[in-house]
Amino acid sequence: QQALAQAQAIADAEAQLSNHEPPPPFIAKIIYDAFSPLGTRAVQWAINVAYCESRYHPNSVNTDSGASGLFQFMPGTWSGTPWASKSPFDPVANAQAAAWLYSHYGPGRWTCQG
């Protein structure tokens, strides 16, 4: 309960600095849980990117590119993550894979930066 409140507070604060709405509470917690070990800036970045990429919708698909999920992973990129055996539509796996990719390669793997 405390983690959810903390995640939502960070998401709400980030949304005030941005031109978009905060994520729904369950998405805020998923993003917070995945990115908080990387720091507050990483959490804020992830909230912006998840909004820009999918509008926080875990089942989003870009029909032109095939990118899928909360952070819009391309199939080839997804298959190179430790979460390749999971569905990219699983928001927890998608956020954890995004945090892993961010921690290994930085934010430049996403063209959409929020």
In a domain, 38, yes or no: yes
Count of domains forming the chain:
1
In a domain, 26, yes or no: yes
* Domain span including residue 83: 2-109
* Model pLDDT for residues 92-112, shown as the tens digit of each residue: 999 999 999 999 999 988 988
| pLDDT score of 56 more than 70 | yes
Write phi, then psi, for 61 (nearest 5 degrees): -135, 130
In a domain, 114, yes or no: no
| pLDDT score of 17 more than 60 | no
pTM: 0.85
Task: Give the model's pLDDT for residue 102.
Answer: 98
In a domain, 84, yes or no: yes
| Paired tokens of 110 | 């996403």
Task: Give the model's pLDDT for residue 22.
Answer: 87
> Could you tell me which residues come within 8 angstroms of residue 72 by beta carbon, excluding any fewer than 6 positions away?
53, 54, 60, 62, 110, 112
Give the whole-angstrom CA distance, residue 7 versus residue 2: 9
Task: Give the model's pLDDT for residue 20.
Answer: 78
Distance of CA 54 to the CA centre of its chain: 9
